[in-house]
């Protein structure tokens, strides 16, 4: 058990609907990442936070996607007006930012599997 939790684990929605996913990182971790993984591919970076600040978003990320981490703890990822191409596993990972003697290691949650009909 890595300690990162995600909710829900599965989501089925109709095209055009909005969905929101939640990630609870390991409590002492200050970085939080969102990835998307499709079948047969490695996880693809979407965005990441350090504390409550969103420091980078992938250029591939449509403006229908938005992520927040309001208090620097849990994070939400919202997809508006879902499309069939959004069907994927959405993974969250958390880590401690690298520092003196510390190399960053990302720990993944179980993911939320989204199916858009």
- Indicate the SS3 state at residue 86: helix
Sole binder of other proteins in the list 29, 43, 87, 116 (CB under 8 A): 43
Is the CB of 19 or the CB of 31 nearer to other proteins?
Answer: 31
In the complex, the smallest distance separating the C-beta of residue 97 from other proteins, rounded to whole angstroms, is 8
**Residue 101 interacts with other proteins (CB under 8 A): yes or no:** no
Distance CA 50, CA 33 (A): 9
**Nearest CA to 32 among 61, 69, 5?**
69
Q: Judged by CB, which is closer to other proteins: 80, or 108?
A: 108
What does the binding site for other proteins look like in residue numbers (CB under 8 A)? 2, 31, 33, 40-45, 48, 50, 55-56, 58, 91, 97, 103-111
């Amino acid at each position: 058990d890595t300690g990162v939790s995600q909710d829900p684990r599965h989501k089925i929605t109709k095209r055009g609907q909005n969905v929101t996913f939640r990630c609870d990182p390991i409590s002492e971790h200050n970085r939080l990442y969102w990835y998307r993984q499709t079948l047969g591919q490695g996880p693809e970076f979407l965005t990441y936070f350090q504390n409550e600040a969103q420091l980078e978003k992938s250029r591939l990320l449509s403006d229908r996607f938005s992520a927040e981490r309001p208090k620097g703890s849990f994070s939400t990822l919202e997809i508006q007006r879902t499309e069939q191409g959004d069907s994927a596993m959405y993974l969250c990972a958390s880590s401690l930012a690298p520092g003196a003697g510390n190399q960053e290691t990302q720990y993944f949650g179980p993911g939320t599997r989204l199916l858009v009909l």
